[in-house]
Structure formats: C-alpha cells, structure tokens
Amino acid sequence: MDHFLYRSGTLHAEDVALSDIAQVIGTPFYCYSTATLTRHYQLFTEALSPLPHLVCFAIKSLSNVAVLKTLGNLGAGMDVVSAGEYMRAKAAGVPGDKIVFSGVGKTREEMRIALEGGIRQFNVESEPEMRALSEVASSMGVIAPIAIRVNPDVDARTHEKIATGKSENKFGIPIARASEVYAEAARLPGLDVVGIDVHIGSQLTELSPFEQAYLKVADLTHRLRAEGHDIRRLDLGGGLGIPYARNNEAPPLPTDYGALIKRTVGDLGCEIEIEPGRLISGNSGVLVSRVIYVKNGEGRDFLILDAAMNDLVRPSMYGAHHDIVAVEEPAAGTEQQPYDVVGPVCETGDTFAKARPLPPLAEGDLVAFRSAGAYGSVMASEYNTRPLIPEVLVKGDHYAVIRARPTFEEILARDTVPEWL
C-alpha cells in the first residue's frame, strides 16, 4: 500500500497533485511520500516486536538526508556501505550507536571515520579486512564492535546481479570456515565480536531462501557460543522484495517475514538487526516525467520522455519492470495502446519499456514511474550531461524540494582546465 492515488482525476502524492509540483519545479523529478516511508518502516518494527531489534534502513536504496531524517526520527537505525553514506546518516542526526557499517571493501580511512564518529558495529566480510580493522582500532586506542558476515551458500532465486548468498559471490566468509575466523577475531586486539551477519540478496520474492539462511545462522550461533564467543546480535540483512507490477507479483509481507525470523532465530536471546532498503523506499517514490514527443515509427509508436536511463537505470541495467501511469487519470473505458517508452539518451539501451499498453498520450503529458523510490535517484548519473534531477518530499498537503536541480553552471564548474590549455 502506498500514498500515490488519483484524486479528482490527477495522481497525487498524499494530498499534493504531482502536476502542481511539475508546474513549479519542472520535470523530471523524484517524489517521495512521508506517509509511505513511515508505514513501511513501522511494518518491520511491528513484525519484529516483541523481540529486541533494530531496523537499520539500507541507505544505498535512497540516501537523501531528508528521507534519512524522516526515518531516523521514528527510531530507525541505518545500514551504510561507505564513508559517504556514514556522513549522510550522521548529517540526518542518527547516532553512531544506531549505524552498522556493511560492505566488502571498507578502506582503513573509512574505518577510522566511523570509529571516530561512533559506530554500532562493522559487518566484517573477510580476514584481511578484519586484520586491517584490528590495526586501525588498536592504533586509535579504541575497540571496534564486529559481526562477521557469513556466506551461507543459499540460492536467493533473484536476479543474478543482486544475489549475494551463493559461495561464488564475493560476499562474506564461507560459513564452513566460521569457527576458524571467529577464533582469529577473538585473538586480535581492538575487536569485540558481538554477532553474526548474513545478507543473501535483494528483491527476494519468496521466504524459503531466508529460512534456509537463518536456520544455518541459528546453528552457527549455537556452535560459536559453545566455542566461547558471546554472540548477542544477529544481523539478518535486507532483501525482502516488493511488487513492481500491479496484480502480478505478491512477495511475502513483512509480517510473514517477521514470523519467519521469530521461528528460526527468535529463541536465541539475541538482539535482531535487519537492513531493509527497497521495501521501505521502493513504493515510497515515483519518478515524474513529461512526454517530449510521440514518434510514429515502423510498426510502433515511441513515447519519448524527458527522463532517461541516467535518471532511472534499473530497466536498462537489470531489465527491470516499472509500472508507468498517466498523471491525468484516463477516463473509464479508455482503450490502451502499445508504446515503446524511451528517453533522449543516445543509445538503444535507453529504453524503459517495449510495447507497454498505456492510454493515448500526447506531447506535454505527464507520466509517473511507480516503485521508483529504491535504487532510482541513488543510481542516477549525469550521462549526456543531463543534470541530476531534483528530489521532492511530500508530507500531507505540503512538499519541499529536498535536492535541487543543479544549474549547468554548477555542473561545468566541477571541471577544471589545466593551465597549459
């Protein structure tokens, strides 16, 4: 459920008409709904209660500081994967003891920044990383709390580019070697082993891969405790999928996911951490774009939009489906017709959808890509020197631009020309 609905014939974000925002700030733009973000975050906290838990929002899915502050104010923790994301969490006022640091290649500099600013735990992904963290923490005279990410060798049955839990993936240490690696962690100075971390992939549409992974984590918890480790936290990662195409997919609900967590690891007496990104941010955002031209091609009509693959890369990168709707509600009974929906970027990959049934659209009409809150704006680039598009946050009947569209002068000012030219 989200808060993007037609009212009086126009698609609204909560109580604000998307066409009104378009008129003021121009297109394209991303628009997020506070009520949807809030609701999705709360679904997780309700699903995990009464277990002691912390829902750490995966910042990589949507990193605008205003969004982070919205979630942080509700009590959310944050999952970061770079110093930049750590800075964003801090800028949003999230305390260090609610920030977990994931990622397969943390640099010593990133470790230092997080240790200085305060961190709940590092999710360590390899032995070399663990040794580096031990050195950095020791040299600073502090103790780094760590969980070790184990790779459970489970097939997440999702898109190959976003599956992370198979042994051939680059993530975590093989679960079979956990005893050895935890023993070394316990010996190293500057580290405090607090738990186990696992994350098997993204956009999972079934619960069984989670179940297989979490049962392995439960076993491992018993084993490591018997070996003398004080395992008190389990970070179970993110990955719960969302419905991208209406009436088509029905991924499991957070309540079912919560029940699964309770069933598999709920009696271990551990504090549970999860790192959802997409389920909180995905359906909380839309990308609004305007039709520049309708071009009649050979046997097909092209809808040429002012948004392109640089603004929303998921369709060209993963073949992902995003529902596209007209901002002005079509009259009941309007016949749909197929369009190839494309952007202005100079490559064929800049295609959002082929033969997509849509109501008849004309130059100047507005369309909205649904489910664009997660991995939309954060993956955008300035390819073709197209300015990064603005982000807007709606709350009730008001909205704010939370990232402005850069001017061409600002973009050009980032380049410097050497004095020999």
Which tokens is 141 given?
């005279």
Nearer to ligand LLP, 29 or 101 (CB): 101
* Nearest CB to ligand LLP, comparing residues 6 and 318: 318
- Which segments within 244-308 are labelled E, that is strand? 271-274, 285-297, 300-305
Q: Compute the CA torsion angle 361, 362, 364, 369 (nearest 10 deg).
A: 20
Reply yes or no on whether 31 is catalytic.
Answer: no
- 125 in contact with ligand LLP (CB under 6 A): no
Considering the complex, what minimum distance in angstroms separates the CB of residue 10 from ligand LLP?
28
Q: Is 285 in the site for ligand LLP (CB under 6 A)?
A: no
Question: How many residues can be counted in the chain?
Answer: 421
State which of positions 234-263 bind ligand LLP (CB under 6 A): 237-239
Q: By rule CB under 6 A, what string of x and - marks binding of each residue 64-93 to ligand LLP?
A: ---------------x--------------
Task: Pick the closer one to ligand LLP by CB: 233 or 278.
Answer: 278
Pairing of strands 99-101, 77-80: parallel
Residue range at the interface with ligand LLP (CB under 6 A); choices 13-21, 270-278, 332-340, 361-369: 270-278
Among 203, 264, 283, 377, binds ligand LLP (CB under 6 A): 203
Q: Extract long-range pairs of 151-156: CB within 8 Å, 24+ residues apart.
A: 151/175, 151/198, 152/198, 152/200, 152/212, 152/213, 152/216, 152/217, 154/200, 154/209, 154/212, 154/213, 154/216, 155/209, 156/200, 156/201, 156/204, 156/209, 156/239
Residue 276 engages ligand LLP in binding (rule: CB under 6 A): yes
12 vs 278, beta carbon nearer ligand LLP: 278
In the set 31, 56, 270, 346, the catalytic residue is 346
Alpha helices for 208-348 (secondary structure H): 208-226, 254-265, 278-281, 314-318
- In the complex with ligand LLP, the residue whose CB is nearer, 57 or 339, is 57
246 sits in which H/E element = none
Task: Report the nearest approach of ligand LLP to the CB of residue 161 (Å).
Answer: 7
Q: How far is the CB of 302 from ligand LLP (least distance, A)?
A: 25
Closest approach of Cβ 275 to ligand LLP, in Å? 4
What are the CB-based long-range contacts (under 8 Å, 24+) for 246-249?
246/323, 249/205
Contacts of 135 (CB under 8 A, 6+ apart): 108, 190
Between 6 and 383, name the residue whose CB sits nearer to ligand LLP.
383
Of the residues 28, 172, 277, 390, which one makes contact with ligand LLP according to CB under 6 A = 277
Tokens of 374: 């997660």
CB 276 within 8 A of CB 286: no
Q: Which residue lies nearer to ligand LLP by CB, 32 or 399? A: 32
Single-letter code of the amino acid located at 127? E
State how far the Cα of 33 lies from the Cα of 3, in Å rounded to an integer. Answer: 7
Site string for ligand LLP, 370-389 (x = CB under 6 A): ----xx--------------
Give the Cα separation of 318 and 215 in Å (integer): 30
From residue 219 to residue 238, the character string flagging contacts with ligand LLP as x (rule: CB under 6 A) and all else as - is: ------------------xx
From the CB of 367, what's the least distance to ligand LLP, in Å? 20
Alpha carbon of 189 to those of 122, 130, 136, 233, 421: distances in Å?
15, 11, 10, 20, 52
By CB under 6 A, what part of segment 4-63 binds ligand LLP? 58, 60-61
Q: Which residues bind ligand LLP (CB under 6 A)?
A: 58, 60-61, 79, 102, 162, 199, 202-203, 237-239, 275-279, 314, 318, 374-375
Residues with a known catalytic role: 346
